[in-house]
Each structure stands twice: as structure tokens, then as C-alpha cells.
């Protein structure tokens, strides 16, 4: 079950890489965003549906919220012996 924690950490790293690279490479068809964007956009969509960037002054908080959610899920699994 440590595999689940490993996957959650990997997703958190992927979200971080996508968020940082989006500052420098806004086009999602350019490398490395051509790899990260298709994997992260479906994860961002539910968060953006609730907390739309146009309502938050143009800031997109979905990567930050997603990383917190992934870390929280990993910590919730830890006491069950499934943790890091």
C-alpha cells in the first residue's frame, strides 16, 4: 500500500512542475507542459468549477488546493499503515 502514497506524492510533484512551468511556458502545447498539462487539467477542473479564477482576481488557486488535498490524503492514509 505504500504504492498509493508514492503515487500521491508523484501527483503532487507533477502538479508542482506544471504550476511552475506554466509561469514560464504559458502554452500548454510546448514541452514540458505538453506532458504535464494533459495529466493535471482533469484534476484541476473540479476545483476550477467551484473556485473560478475570474472570481479570484485572475489567480488560479487550483494547483495549490490540489497539492494540499493530495498531501492531506497521504497523511490520512499514514495512520492506517498506508503512509509514507
The per-residue pLDDT for range 20-49, each reduced to its tens digit, is 999 999 998 999 899 999 999 999 999 999
Are the C-beta atoms of 5 and 12 separated by less than 8 Å? no
More confident residue, 51 or 78: 51
Are the C-beta atoms of 9 and 74 separated by less than 8 Å? yes
> pLDDT at residue 74 above 90?
no
pTM, 2 dp: 0.84
pLDDT at 21: 94
Q: How far apart are the first and last CA of the chain?
A: 10
> pLDDT at residue 14 above 70?
yes
- The b-or-e profile of 58-80 (16+ CB within 10 A means b, else e) is eebebbebbbebbeeebeebeee
Amino acid at each position: 500500500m505504500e504504492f498509493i502514497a508514492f503515487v500521491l506524492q508523484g501527483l503532487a510533484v507533477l502538479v508542482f512542475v506544471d504550476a511552475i512551468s506554466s509561469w514560464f511556458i504559458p502554452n500548454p502545447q510546448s514541452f514540458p507542459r505538453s506532458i504535464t498539462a494533459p495529466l493535471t487539467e482533469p484534476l484541476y477542473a473540479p476545483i476550477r468549477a467551484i473556485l473560478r479564477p475570474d472570481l479570484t482576481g485572475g489567480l488560479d488557486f487550483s494547483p495549490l488546493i490540489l497539492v494540499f488535498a493530495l498531501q492531506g490524503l497521504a497523511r490520512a492514509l499514514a495512520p492506517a499503515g498506508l503512509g509514507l
